[in-house]
Amino acid sequence: MTEDEQGRHNKRRRLWWALLALVVVLAVLLVPPLVSVSRYKTRITSLMSASLGRPVRLSQVRVRLLPRPGFVLYDLTVDEDPEFGGEAFLHASTVTASIRLLPLWRGHLQISEISVDEASLNLVRSAAGRWNLESLFKTAATKAGTTPATHAAPPLPYLSATNSRINFKNGAEKLPFSLVATDVSFWQENPGEWRIRLRGQPARTDVSLDLADTGVVELNASAHSAAALSQMPIHLDLEWRDAQLGQLTRLATGSDAGWRGDLRGEVHVDGTPDAATVNTRLRAAGVHRAEFAPVAPMDFDANCGFVYHYATRALEKLVCDSPLGDGHVRIAGDLPATNTAPQLPATPRVSVELDRVPVGAALDALRTVRSGVGSDLEAAGTASGKISYAALAAPGSEAKMPAKSYPAKKGAAAARPAGPLSGSITVDGLQLRGDGLASPIVVPKFVLAPSVVASEQQQALVSSVAVPLGGTTPLALNVRLGVAGYQVTARGAASIARSREVAHATGIKQAAALDALAGDPLTVDLLAQGPWLPVEDVSSDNTPPSEIVTAAAAPAPHSTIAGPAKTRPIPVSTDVPATDSLSGTVTLHNANWKADYLASHVEIATATLHLDGAVSDWDPIDFTYGPLKGTATLSVPAGCDAPASCPVRFQVAFGDLDAATVQTAILGARQKGTLLSDLINRLHPASSPQWPSLEGTVTADSLVLGPLTLKNVKAGVNLQPATTEIASLDAALLGGSLHATGQFESGDKPYYELSGDFAKIDPAAVGELLGETWRGGTFAANGKIELSGFTSDDLASSAKGTLHFEWRHGALAGDPSAPADLARFDRWTADAIVAKGKIALDKNEVAVGSRKRTVDASVTLEEPPKVTFPAPKPAQAKKP
């Protein structure tokens, strides 16, 4: 072809393209207005409804020619099958429906593709266990050439959705789980073959999640037509990658369980819904708790395979393998749901086989799912063995267990097992070290084997271990491990030092009670139990734990611990409690206890600690503190977030006390700069340590305060770090009674504030105190005083306050300086002012018959106190 011919050819081609473009433009401008959209609205709706097998509604339709001929649909709603509720199956504000051109030339309208953006799709599971997608697959299967060619149904259009949301419902209840930013496609690859492709991010609507860490879910699946849905061949590949464990726990439970690490899961399914071969792989890297980063985080790569039967929800030929450290774990079994399938085993069977699995891996797993276990605690040793579970057939059932599971004894009938578990696991060379343990805890060998531990024929893995912990004999541990939880009983003797190390290493909350103790070995009788995964939210305070956590590890029958007369029984239940609990007793002998806020040690002859989970009670405590001897009880609440709202409660009882003895024992010397000053400085709010929150009572048979003796003393005390409140002080005093309140505040000098009421005071006893001879009826008084300082001189000189008293039918005798009006009177009332080391009368009135007088008097605050009556003023001569 010459250049001229080539030029003419190119010119003609450009002309044809220009004419085609002109036609397209004219079609775009002229054809849409000429098309009757209302004519096609009903047709489009019926076509989509027939394709999807669901009622379809839309509000408006517009014609679109570019880039492909089709329609734009507005407010599309695909109704739900009534079996799955009344909420729409699919809703989208804008939908694009592309049409097939060839059928259109023949006068038939067929939709080739339906695409939506930002749609909302509901996946619903009914109470019968069916999903609302099943009817869609049934509709597609029906259209796969099952109708005659002359009456062929419209083919299923290509369905696609971008940037959409998939919600999950359980019946009428919408679950908080969903897939967001989802792209999903559903189309017919070949006649009778359908494909599904999905990509989205898991989300939860009721919590705030970092979606970047919830990972990405990708699904690719295909299905082929069959006579019945249960026989439809399927192939499915599901992958969940780039997931972070902390966000996954928030996604699954609504709160962060404190796990960290990367997770990736795969699921591959081949077969039919009635018999699907499933292979899974779960890989985790860097698994650890958020509060510590171990030297070697836990990694695992588990592969599982099984055959799943959707109709019966049954599993068979389950095999899971995973290397773990230098060992290996294998799980195998069959889990039929019913006995309706003769080809399946009649009862569930599962076995777990361990081959030289490191005990350290079990410790890492425990530390990963539970907080509180010491991050520096290390474990050595291996575990090997096999545990099998074979559910017993129901009475009257024809299903029987294999003969090999029940070996017959020679000369006897075959023995029926006590429970469904059999086998054993042997742990060799167990050593626990680190995390404050001065020396390793060594257990050369022990065996975990199934045993019936309750009358209900429940089983758990049980073992008895003797652990030397510094006592005269090893501590006996009985361990029971179930699927849902654990129980450990400890009985015997253990040194305080080793007990303290073990308590801190295992994360026991009451471990701090041992920090300030020293002395002879403890006698312990304890039960520790709890779930492997604590329940975070209990729906009702009245709901028993048995209804919250499924029982798995059945303990021994209800038993009582040996110990003192006040020892409480340990309630051993067949249910696993919702949270960890520690109950039982710990008995001390010849111990001493030192708190930073006390001047010296407290010597304890004997004391018993009762634990019941909610409160730790020390009862009784026989103690000596310097020259003071007494008995006490102490109640310490457990797990209190605000110590001020749940203070430690105590009761202390003494015999006869002398204030000087108390002062020597508690405050030391009485001079500034010595032990008393040091103690007060330690009690200062800005100093450390501070007193804990304490609330309780102190009683004494008698308390000698210099010349005064208080009898049957009972004081209610509320001790805070900066303030001590005397809520009440009641005692017998001077033949009458005293009721007082007050408070103490620390500072540069201790400050006291006291208010008291005196009733039925014997004047003879008061006169004897003052070196006077007083007699007559009893009197009453009340007053308030403030004072500060370290010594008695400081206290007396700083005292200030008021005092009021009333005395009827009294007499002062034997004091020539007393005014004559006080020799005998009917009533004496007075207000006094306390200041400058004295109590001086202010307003007062002495009544003798109808005559009323005032007197002057004062009492010097010294030892002993002294009353003074000033000489009467001489009468002045009358002026002439």
Are the CB atoms for 482 and 576 separated by under 8 Å? yes
pLDDT at 237 over 90: yes
Of the three residues 228, 255, 275, the one that is the final residue of a domain is 228
The DSSP output letter for 595 is -
**Mean pLDDT, residues 822-834:** 91
Give the start-end residues of each E strand in 663-764. Answer: 694-705, 708-719, 723-733, 736-745, 751-761
- What is the 3-state secondary structure of 436-480? CCCCCEEEEEEEEEEEECCCCCCEEEEEEEEECCECCCCEEEEEE
Tokens, residue 364: 């890492």
Rounded Cα distance, 859 and 61, in Å: 107
Rounded to 5 degrees, φ, ψ at 623 are -130, 165
- Largest interatomic CA distance in the chain: 168
What is the length of the chain?
880
**Mean pLDDT, residues 843-855:** 90
**Mean pLDDT, residues 175-182:** 90
* pLDDT in the model for residue 412: 37
pLDDT at 277 over 90: yes
pLDDT tens track for 147-173: 444 445 556 678 888 999 999 998 888
Range 836-841 contact pairs with CB under 8 angstroms and sequence separation of 24 or more: 836/797, 837/796, 837/797, 837/799, 837/861, 837/862, 839/803
**Mean pLDDT, residues 109-136:** 82
Q: Is 740 contained in some domain? A: no
Rounded Cα distance, 359 and 375, in Å: 15
pLDDT tens track for 367-383: 766 666 766 778 899 99
Of the three residues 166, 200, 228, the one that is the final residue of a domain is 228
pLDDT tens track for 709-724: 899 999 998 887 778 8
Lowest mean pLDDT among 22-36, 106-120, 327-341, 592-606: 22-36
pLDDT tens track for 58-108: 888 887 766 667 778 888 898 988 888 888 988 988 888 777 665 655 556
Rounded Cα distance, 196 and 215, in Å: 20
* pLDDT in the model for residue 699: 94
pLDDT at 808 over 60: yes
Q: 665-696 burial by CB neighbour count: b if 16+ within 10 A, else e?
A: bbbbebeeeebbbebbebbeeeeeebbebebb
Q: Single out the residue of 355, 375, 358 nearest to residue 367, CA to CA.
A: 375
Of the three residues 165, 198, 228, the one that is the final residue of a domain is 228
Q: Is 185 contained in some domain? A: yes
> 372 versus 567: which is more confidently predicted?
372
**Mean pLDDT, residues 402-418:** 40
* pLDDT in the model for residue 874: 58
* pLDDT in the model for residue 47: 74
Q: How would residue 294 be classed by pLDDT, with cut points 50, 70 and 90?
A: low
Quick one: 516 exposed, middle or buried, by C-beta within 10 A (0-12, 13-18, 19+)? middle
Helix H or strand E segment including 585: strand 581-593
Rounded Cα distance, 681 and 674, in Å: 11
* pLDDT in the model for residue 744: 81
Q: Is 179 contained in some domain? A: yes
Rounded to 5 degrees, φ, ψ at 709 are -130, 115
- Give how far Cα 695 sits from Cα of 651, 688, 716, 875, Å: 9, 20, 8, 60
Mean pLDDT of the chain: 77
Q: Is 279 contained in some domain? A: no
**Mean pLDDT, residues 846-866:** 86
Residue 329, helix vs strand vs coil: strand
DSSP 742-810: EEEE-SSS-EEEEEEEEEEE-HHHHHHHHT-EEEES-EEEEEEEEEE-SSHHHHHHH-EEEEEEEEEEE
pLDDT at 679 over 60: no
Range 724-732 contact pairs with CB under 8 angstroms and sequence separation of 24 or more: 724/691, 726/754, 729/756, 731/703
- Residue type for 491, please? R
* pLDDT in the model for residue 142: 60
Block residue for tokens 């967001």: 180
Q: Is 192 contained in some domain? A: yes
Q: How would residue 680 be classed by pLDDT, with cut points 50, 70 and 90?
A: very low
pLDDT at 256 over 70: yes
The DSSP output letter for 667 is I
Rounded Cα distance, 197 and 873, in Å: 116
User: Helices 37-52 and 133-142 sit at what angle, rounded to 10 degrees?
Assistant: 100
pLDDT tens track for 20-65: 665 555 554 444 554 445 666 777 788 778 777 788 888 888 877 6
* pLDDT in the model for residue 30: 46
pLDDT tens track for 499-548: 888 888 777 766 777 778 888 999 999 998 888 766 544 333 333 333 32
Q: Is 754 contained in some domain? A: no
The DSSP output letter for 865 is -
pLDDT tens track for 741-791: 998 886 667 788 989 999 999 999 988 888 888 899 998 999 999 988 766
Q: Is 786 contained in some domain? A: yes
The DSSP output letter for 878 is P
> 510 versus 644: which is more confidently predicted?
510
CB atoms within 10 A of CB 175: 14
* pLDDT in the model for residue 52: 75
* pLDDT in the model for residue 103: 60
- Residue type for 97, please? A
> 793 versus 480: which is more confidently predicted?
480
- Residue type for 222, please? S
Domain of 831, in residue numbers: 762-880
Half-sphere exposure of 415 (CA within 13 A, CB side): 9
- Percent of residues, the chain, with pLDDT higher than 70: 74
- Residue type for 804, please? H
* pLDDT in the model for residue 737: 94
**Mean pLDDT, residues 416-422:** 67
Are the CB atoms for 316 and 345 separated by under 8 Å? yes
Distance of CA 125 to the CA centre of its chain: 31
Quick one: 13 exposed, middle or buried, by C-beta within 10 A (0-12, 13-18, 19+)? exposed
Q: Is 56 contained in some domain? A: yes
Tokens, residue 663: 């002062």
Strands 259-272 and 234-244: antiparallel
**Mean pLDDT, residues 648-676:** 66
pLDDT at 561 over 50: no
Rounded to 5 degrees, φ, ψ at 605 are -70, -45
pLDDT tens track for 448-486: 998 876 545 577 889 999 999 888 888 999 999 887 788
Rounded to 5 degrees, φ, ψ at 296 are -125, 90
**532 Cβ neighbours under 8 A, 6+ residues apart:** 366, 369, 370, 484, 485, 486
* pLDDT in the model for residue 873: 60
> 740 versus 788: which is more confidently predicted?
740
**Mean pLDDT, residues 680-689:** 45
Rounded Cα distance, 270 and 279, in Å: 9
Q: Single out the residue of 311, 319, 312, 220 nearest to residue 279, CA to CA.
A: 319
Q: How would residue 18 be classed by pLDDT, with cut points 50, 70 and 90?
A: low
* pLDDT in the model for residue 730: 95
Lowest mean pLDDT among 133-147, 633-647, 848-862: 133-147
* pLDDT in the model for residue 374: 67
- Percent of residues, the chain, with pLDDT higher than 90: 25
pLDDT at 205 over 50: yes
pLDDT at 830 over 60: yes
> 603 versus 256: which is more confidently predicted?
603
Bridge partners of 379? Answer: 432
**Mean pLDDT, residues 715-739:** 89
The total number of structural domains that make up the chain: 2
Q: How would residue 332 be classed by pLDDT, with cut points 50, 70 and 90?
A: very high
DSSP 377-427: -EEEEEEEEEEEEEPPPPTT-S----GGGSPBPTTSPBPPPSSSEEEEEEE
Lowest mean pLDDT among 101-110, 178-187, 319-328, 743-752: 101-110
Q: Single out the residue of 515, 659, 682 nearest to residue 598, CA to CA.
A: 682
